[in-house]
Amino acid sequence: MNVLRKSILIGFTVLGMAAAHAQDTAPAAGPDKSANMEQRRAKMSEMYAKRQARLHDQLKLTTQQESAWASYQAAIKPSMPDGPRPQRGEFAKLTAPERLSKMIEMTKQREAKMETHLAALTAFYGQLTPEQKKVFDERGMGGKRGGHGQHGGWRHHG
């Protein structure tokens, strides 16, 4: 009987400690969450700028190519979505056809951005020498250590 009580007491103690630890490590809500999001966005912007600068250096662009590079960079620069992000609760309140309609609308917006990106890429790529094209193909747009590899792009390693 005594062993059973000790086991139960130890079990409750462990559960209590685990619950206390879970509360300590729970993500913060409220203003801290938005501050953390801003820090992540700033870090991602910094990483993007570094990748683009590294690609620029590897391409060894001529002065005549610099304007094409600037136009390309302006067209592909990541931007924050227009307006506030929809709340999950609000999205869940929509009917199934309304949700699918919203999803199609968001897909069309992403597709339009990709079309703009393609036009800028094609114009810039046409200005490159064959050697530069090889470097761009290997290093840019998800190639070896490319620009989209670390954040949900084509490659997730490298």
Task: Note the pLDDT of residue 157.
Answer: 40
Pairwise pLDDT comparison (87 vs 95), residue with the higher score: 95
Phi, psi of 102, rounded to the nearest 5 degrees: -60, -40
Q: How confident is the model at residue 119 (pLDDT cuts 50, 70, 90)?
A: very high
Q: Is the pLDDT of residue 108 over 60?
A: yes
CB 155 within 8 A of CB 149: yes
Pairwise pLDDT comparison (121 vs 12), residue with the higher score: 121
Task: Note the pLDDT of residue 70.
Answer: 93
Show the tokens assigned to 128. 């490159």
CA distances from 44 to 40, 49, 52 (A): 6, 9, 12
Task: Note the pLDDT of residue 5.
Answer: 64
Task: Note the pLDDT of residue 79.
Answer: 74
Residue 72's closest CA among 115, 145, 125, 110? 125
pLDDT tens digits along 26-56: 455 555 666 788 888 889 889 989 999 999 9
Where are the chain's structural domains?
84-128
Pairwise pLDDT comparison (91 vs 126), residue with the higher score: 126
Task: Note the pLDDT of residue 92.
Answer: 84
